[in-house]
Amino acid sequence: MKKALWFLCVLVLPAILGCTTPSRYISHIKLGMTPDQVRKIMGDPYTVRAAKTYEGGETAEIWEYIAPVFSAAAFSDKYDKSYWVFFQNGKVVQWGEPGDFSGTDSATGVMLVKDFYNKKLMR
């Protein structure tokens, strides 16, 4: 029984207290990356905050990353931030904390970042 408990602690404890936090990897994101490239660096997003396909077939999507709920990072002031990665037509065009997005807060991508900057200021 003691061996099983020890083995469980050795395997489970690092996963629970792990350092896998978005803030650790967000600096590796670069403009123009694809969703697959972002996923390789950051892992799967916590959620897709918003997504839209426009009339001309253009797409916009916001992925949200937060610290895992059962990690030490989730309880640390340093790592309690959430980060968004904003894709346009399958490429990263912006990333950062939700308030960094052109006057947005966290309300569903604030209408997909003000309807993608008012459809790029009506072109």
Q: Which domains does the chain have, with CATH numbers?
A: 19-122 (3.30.1450.10)
User: How many Cα atoms sit within 13 Å of 66 on the Cβ side?
Assistant: 14
CA angle, 72 then 66 then 83, to 5°? 130
- pLDDT tens by residue, the chain, 123 residues: 666 555 545 455 444 444 557 878 889 999 999 999 999 999 999 999 999 999 899 999 999 998 776 655 555 555 567 899 999 999 999 998 887 765 555 555 555 555 555 555 444
What 49-58 contacts at long range (C-beta under 8 Å, 24+ apart), as own/partner pairs, is 49/84, 49/106, 49/108, 49/109, 50/108, 50/109, 50/111, 50/112, 51/112, 52/112, 52/115, 52/116, 54/116, 54/119, 58/88, 58/89, 58/116
